[in-house]
Structure 1
Amino acid sequence: MALSNNNSKRALLSTGVLALAGLASTPLLAQDAQQIIRDRCLACHTESGTAEAPSFSRISEQRKTPEGWHMTLNRMIHLRNLQISTEEKRALVKYLADTQGLAPEETEGYRYLLEQDTNIVETGIEPGTAEMCARCHSGARFSLQRRTEQEWKYLVDFHMGQFPTTEFHSLARDRQWFDIARNDTAVKLAEQFPFETNAWSNWKAADKSDLMGRWRVTGFIPGKGEFDAWMSAAKTGEGKYDLDIEGTYADGSKLAGKGNATVYTGFEWRASLTIDGVKMRQVMAADKAGNNLEGRMFLAAEREIGGDLMAVRDQGAADIVAVQPSYLRSGVSTELTLVGQNLDGEINLGEGVAVEKVVSRSKDRITVIAKANGAEGMRSVSVGKANAELAVYSELARVEVQPANAVTRNGGADSAMAKVRANYRAVGYSAGADGEAGTDDDLRLGYMPAQWSIKPADEVAAHDKDDKYAGMINAAGIFTPGDAGPNPARKMSANNVGRLAVVASVKDGDTTVEGEGSMLVAVQDFVRRVLD
C-alpha cells in the first residue's frame, strides 16, 4: 500500500489525534487521575469540594473532546512547564474525556474536525463568533467545547495575555475588541455552548455499551479503493481493545492488520493500526446502542489522505452493510457485491432488477451479475431478512467532485516541511423525476470511478502556468503539490503555488460527464511542527 510520501513525521499540536489514537496504558481509577491533578497541577490550580467530589479551578468548569483535553495538556507542557509523564498524560486525557466530555449529540455537525477531514468549507456559523473566533480558528474548534460563562470570559483573557496583538488584527482593530469579546461574544458562547446541558446529564447517566466483539467494516483507502473486512476487538482494559482486521479490496486483493483502540466518553473510538505495513488511524463515533461505528480512517503520517469508515457489530442477525457499487445503469449487466453478515435466504434486488448470475456467495459476501430495467429510483435490496438500498438510473446527469474546495501545500525539496496532499472522489447523480440536473430532485448514485486531470482555475492561473508547476494528480485522484522554494523556471522565480480546477471525467455508456473541484496550492504550513 504505497500511500505515504517520504517526508519527516508531522504532528499537529492543536488536534492531538495522532497521540490519542490507540494509546495503550495501565487502567487507572478516578481517584488515581485526581491524584495526578493534585500532584502535577495544583502549583497553579486550586482544589475545593469534597474528597468524594473534588473540584479543580479552571479544570472542572469545562467539558471537551479527547482532542480538546489533549490540546490543553500540551499547552500546559509547552507554555507553563508542566512536568508530567506520558502515562500520566494518557490517564488524564481518558479521565477528563470520560467525566467532562461531550455527549454524542453535542458533537453532531462538527465531527469533521475530530475526523481530521480538513477540506471542509464551514457554514452556519453565527456572524459574531465568525468575526471574533473563526477568523483564526475553525468554527468546530470552539463548538466542540462547553464552558461556564466565566470560563468563556477567562478564555478571552487568555487570548489577550498570550496573544496581545490579536486586538490589532483584521476584524479586531478600529473597534472595542476586548469589550466586545468579553461582554458580548463570551456571553453568546455560554448561551450556545453551555457547561450544563440535558444532553450531557442524560449521557452521563446512560448505560454505555462495551465495544468488544466482531465488527463488519466497510471503508475507502485512497490509492487502493473500497474494501470490506472483519475487525475483532479484544478487550484489554476499561475502554481499551486489541484489534485484528482482515478483508478484501474491491479489486479482489487482500488486506490485513493489527492495532489497538481506546474508547473515550463511552462512544469516541480512537484507534491506531498497521495495515499491510502502513500506519493508519481511525476516528469513529459509536451510536448510543453501541452497535454501529461511523467515521474516517486516514494515514498516520498524512491526515489529509483518508476516507469514510463504517463498522457494524456482528450480533448474529442478518445484515447488509454495503452494496458495491451502489448503483445500476438501466439495461446494462453489472457485477454487484453485497457486503454483510449472516447472509442467508433468497436474493432480491428490487423491482425490475434481475439476478442474471451468482458469481460467488458466502455468509458475508455475495457477488452477482445484475441487470436493471424500469423507472429511475431507489430499489429495496434484500437477502432473507437483511435489507439495503440500490439506485437505478438511466443516464448520468452530473458529477460532483469531493472535496469541492481543497487546500494543499508544497514542501519537500530543501524544506523541512512535508507536502500536504489531497485525495479526491467523484459522486454521480441522475436528473431524477423532474429530468433536470442540479435540482433537489437529483438522485444520488454514489461514488463512481473517474479519470482525473487538472487545469488552470482562471485566466491568471493559465498565464502563470499553474497547472505545469503547482503539482500533479494521479489516476487514483491523489493530488501531490510541487516542491517548496523559489522556482527559477517561473516568472520572478515564484514558488510552485497556484489555483487549479480538479476535473473528474466519468464514463457513462457512450458519453463522458465531467465535474470540477477547486484546488488552492499554497506555501508550507508553518503552524505545523516538524518532529525528528
Structure 2
Amino acid sequence: MKTIKRLVLAASLFAPLLLALTAHSQSQSQTQPSQPQSPPAEEKKEPGEEGIPVANQLVIDRCASCHKRDDKGRLTRISYERRTPEGWQQAIKRMVRLNGLNLTPDEARQIVKYLSNNHGLAPEEAKPAFYEVERRVIDEKVPDENLRNACVICHSLGRVISQRRTREEWELLTNMHAGYFPVVDFQGFRRPPRPPGQQPPPVPQPEDTRHPVERVVEYLAKNYPLTTPEWGAWRANMRTPKLQGRWLLSGYQAGRGRIYGEMIIEPSEVEDEFTTQIRMSYIKDGSAMTRSGRAIVYTGYSWRGRSQPTGGKEADRIGETREAMFISRDWATMEGRWFWGGYDEFGIDVTLRRLGAEPIILGVDRPALKSPSTAEQVRIYGGALPTDLKPEEIDFGPGVKVKRIINAASDAVTVEVDVAEGAANGLRDISLRRYFATGAVAVFDKVDYIKVSPDAGIARIGGVKFPKQYQQFEAIAYNRGPDDKPQTADDVSLGLVDVEWSIDEFPATLDDDDKDFVGELDNTGLFTPAIEGPNPKRSKQRNNYGDVWIVASYRPKDAPNDAQPLKARSYLVVTVPLYVRWDQPEVSK
C-alpha cells in the first residue's frame, strides 16, 4: 500500500512538468517549418539484382546454418555481394572471431578460392583498387564527399571500392557498422541534432535532408552494384590461365634502383596454383639473389604468391615476400608489387613479360646520358636478343651514336655510345632492329634540381613489443626538359642519385628536440626509427615520437668547386606503433 501511495504522489508531482514539456514540444513543432522528407526506400530489389546462387557444398555446409538458403540456391548476404580474395578472407575471419565459425585452414582456403572465383570482381572492376592489395600508400582521390565522411574517415577508399553489393546489402553493411561500432553515428554517419531551444537557420533548408549514411548508400548502390556488364562478360570468359614458362622480370625498389632477372613458372598439382623459381639482380650495386615460391591465381587474373630466398647476397636482407600481381587478358604480362616488412613498407614494383621466340627489351643499366659525352657504355637487358647485331642496327635517337658493340648475348647487349653537344633533352626510345623499348633512357645537359621521394613519409617506433615501421627515402635528379623551364610538366627524370642525407628539426614547439630521439638515417636514405616506450633521456620521459625534415644534398660531378649543392627535403612523422590491427590479409598462405 505504501508503494502505491508513493507512485501516486510521484505522478501528481511530475504531471504538471510533463504537461508543460508536451505543450512546449507542440509549440516548437508548430513554429518550426516542416522539412521535406526523403522518399521511402524502394523495397523491391533492383532489376537484375537477384543474387548469385552458391553451388559449392563446403560453403553450403559451413555457412548455411546462419546464411539461409532459398529454393534458388542463394544464401542470405553471401549471394548478394562480390569481393576480392582479401575481402572474403576478412569476412571469414570476422565469422570465426565473432560468430563461432569453425574451419580448418584448408577449408578456409577452399572457401576463399570458391567465393573469389564465383563472387569476385572483373579485371576492370578490380584494377582501380588494386593498390589496396598491393599494400601501396597513395594519395587517394575520393570522388564523393558523403563517401569521405561516412567511409573513408576510417577505411581506405580502396577497401570500399573493392566490393560490389545490392542496395540492400550496402544498407545492411552500414547497419553492421552501427551495431559493432556505435561511434560511427557521431563520426560521420549522421548529422548532429540541433541543440534544444536553438532556432533553425534563416537560410532555406537543403532539399535533401537525409543523413550522410543514407546518401552514401545511394551512391554506392549506383556506382558499385552487384550486377554489372563487366562481371557478366568476365564470368562467361573466365578460365584457368596458362602461365607455365619463362618470364622476364624488370623491377624497381625505392632507394636501390632498377632490378632485372627472370621467373620460371611451373603448374602444380592443383588447378590455378603454381610454383616459381626467381633469379634477380640489382643493377646499381650488382647484388643478386635467387628465390623460390608458390602462388595461386584467383578469378583468372589475380596473382597472390609468396617466395623465400634460396641464395645470393640479398638473402639476409630480404626474407619472405608476398606477391600481388595483375595478369593481362592475353597472359603475356603481369604487373604488381612484391612486399615485406612489419607494415608491408618495403616493396619492389615488378613487371613480368612472357618470353617467346621474339626478342624483348627490358631496359638499360643507366637511366640517363649526359650531353656532350663520349665512349659511354650502356648495357641493354632483355631476352632472345639477336647476337649478330651491327652498330647501325641499334638506335638511341637523334644526337646519340652507337660507335661499337662491346658484347652481344641473348640476355644483354653492351654498346659504346657518343652523345653530341646540343642533343635535345628528353626521354629516348631504344630500338634493336625493329624491337623497341619506349622511354628507356634520358638525354640531358645538366641536373637542374632534385626531389626527395616520398615528399612525406611515416615511420613507427618499435622493436620491443611491436615491429618497427621503416621509411625508405630516395633522391631523384631532374632536368628542365624541352621547354627549358624547370618545375614544369615536361621535366625529365634522370633517376636515382647518390646524395648526402641528414635530419633537420621540424620546429613545432619551443626547444623542440625530436631529431635527437626519433631515429637514424643511413647513407642510402633508409630511416630506422628508435625503440618504443618511455625514454628517460627526454623531457617528461616521452616516447621517441616526433616530426622532422629529411634533407638530401647533391653536388653534380661536373659542378664548379664553389657551386652550392642542390638540396631537397621531405617531411617525416615518427609515431607510435599500430597497437590494434583489425585485419591482416593472408590469402596467399
TMscore range, shorter length: 0.7 to 0.9
- What is the match of residue 290 of structure 2? 256
- What is the match of residue 460 of structure 1? 508
Shift of residue 254 of structure 1?
Answer: 2.6
Shift of residue 148 of structure 1?
Answer: 0.9
Indicate the larger mover: 84-93 or 204-213: 204-213
Indicate the larger mover: 142-151 or 511-520: 511-520
Shift of residue 181 of structure 1?
Answer: 4.6
The alignment status of 1:341 with 2:383, answered yes or no, reads yes
Candidates 463, 471, 474, aligned match of 2:522: 474
Q: Aligned pair in 2 of structure 1 residues 470, 172: CA closer, same or farther (>3 Å)? A: farther
Whether the aligned pair in 2 keeps the contact of 1:306 and 1:423 (CA below 8 Å) is no
- What is the match of residue 113 of structure 1? 132
* Residues in 2 aligned to 1:462 and 1:318: alpha-carbon distance in whole angstroms: 62
Secondary structure in 1 aligned to 2:86?
helix
Shift of residue 39 of structure 1?
Answer: 1.4
Whether the aligned pair in 2 keeps the contact of 1:281 and 1:300 (CA below 8 Å) is no
Candidates 193, 205, 211, aligned match of 2:243: 211
Candidates 336, 346, 352, aligned match of 1:295: 336
The alignment status of 1:386 with 2:427, answered yes or no, reads no
Whether the aligned pair in 1 keeps the contact of 2:254 and 2:474 (CA below 8 Å) is no
Q: Aligned pair in 2 of structure 1 residues 523, 185: CA closer, same or farther (>3 Å)? A: same
Pairs within 5 Å for 1:419-458:
419-457=468-506
- What is the match of residue 66 of structure 1? 85
Pairs within 5 Å for 1:32-431:
34-50=56-72, 54-118=73-137, 120-169=138-187, 174-175=192-193, 180-206=211-237, 208=239, 209-221=241-253, 225-236=257-268, 237-250=270-283, 251-275=285-309, 276=311, 277=315, 278-299=319-340, 301-333=342-374, 334-344=376-386, 345=389, 346-356=393-403, 358-373=405-420, 374-388=423-437, 389=439, 390-413=441-464, 416-431=465-480
* Residues in 2 aligned to 1:203 and 1:452: alpha-carbon distance in whole angstroms: 49
* Residues in 2 aligned to 1:354 and 1:211: alpha-carbon distance in whole angstroms: 39
Show CA shifts across 1:288-317 (max 9, x none): 211111111112655101121111111221
Show CA shifts across 1:454-484 (max 9, x none): 2223x22783222221112222222111111
The alignment status of 1:513 with 2:566, answered yes or no, reads yes
Whether the aligned pair in 2 keeps the contact of 1:321 and 1:340 (CA below 8 Å) is yes
* Residues in 1 aligned to 2:181 and 2:238: alpha-carbon distance in whole angstroms: 43
Shift of residue 215 of structure 1?
Answer: 0.5
AA aligned opposite 1:308: D
Secondary structure in 2 aligned to 1:520?
strand
Candidates 463, 482, 500, aligned match of 2:548: 500
AA aligned opposite 2:176: F
How many residue pairs match? The answer is: 494
Indicate the larger mover: 459-468 or 183-192: 459-468
* Residues in 2 aligned to 1:480 and 1:451: alpha-carbon distance in whole angstroms: 16
* Residues in 2 aligned to 1:154 and 1:235: alpha-carbon distance in whole angstroms: 41
Shift of residue 235 of structure 1?
Answer: 0.5
Secondary structure in 1 aligned to 2:179?
helix
Show CA shifts across 1:194-230 (max 9, x none): 2122222222223554222211011234676532111
* Residues in 2 aligned to 1:368 and 1:466: alpha-carbon distance in whole angstroms: 50
- What is the match of residue 16 of structure 2? none
Whether the aligned pair in 1 keeps the contact of 2:190 and 2:212 (CA below 8 Å) is no
* Residues in 2 aligned to 1:191 and 1:506: alpha-carbon distance in whole angstroms: 51
Q: Aligned pair in 2 of structure 1 residues 206, 450: CA closer, same or farther (>3 Å)? A: farther
Q: Aligned pair in 2 of structure 1 residues 211, 130: CA closer, same or farther (>3 Å)? A: same
AA aligned opposite 2:67: H
Secondary structure in 1 aligned to 2:320?
strand
Shift of residue 357 of structure 1?
Answer: 5.2
The alignment status of 1:526 with 2:576, answered yes or no, reads no
AA aligned opposite 1:266: G
Show CA shifts across 1:97-156 (max 9, x none): 1112122222333222111113x2222431111111111111111011111111110110
Indicate the larger mover: 183-192 or 30-39: 30-39
AA aligned opposite 1:45: H
Q: Aligned pair in 2 of structure 1 residues 449, 315: CA closer, same or farther (>3 Å)? A: farther
Secondary structure in 1 aligned to 2:148?
helix
* Residues in 2 aligned to 1:299 and 1:337: alpha-carbon distance in whole angstroms: 30
Higher strand share: 1
* Residues in 2 aligned to 1:171 and 1:454: alpha-carbon distance in whole angstroms: 41
Give ranges in structure 2 of 5+ residues lacking alignment.
1-51, 195-208, 560-564, 585-589
Secondary structure in 1 aligned to 2:184?
helix
Shift of residue 522 of structure 1?
Answer: 0.6
Whether the aligned pair in 2 keeps the contact of 1:406 and 1:422 (CA below 8 Å) is yes
Secondary structure in 2 aligned to 1:233?
strand
Shift of residue 429 of structure 1?
Answer: 2.4
Give ranges in structure 1 of 5+ residues lacking alignment.
1-29
Shift of residue 179 of structure 1?
Answer: 5.9
Q: Aligned pair in 2 of structure 1 residues 159, 348: CA closer, same or farther (>3 Å)? A: same
Indicate the larger mover: 375-384 or 440-449: 440-449
Q: Aligned pair in 2 of structure 1 residues 508, 154: CA closer, same or farther (>3 Å)? A: same
Indicate the larger mover: 152-161 or 347-356: 347-356
Shift of residue 412 of structure 1?
Answer: 1.7
Shift of residue 493 of structure 1?
Answer: 1.7
* Residues in 2 aligned to 1:408 and 1:212: alpha-carbon distance in whole angstroms: 39
Give the percent of matched residue pairs that are identical in Structure 1 and Structure 2: 32
AA aligned opposite 2:267: K
Shift of residue 41 of structure 1?
Answer: 0.9
- What is the match of residue 46 of structure 2? none
- What is the match of residue 201 of structure 2? none
Indicate the larger mover: 519-528 or 363-372: 363-372
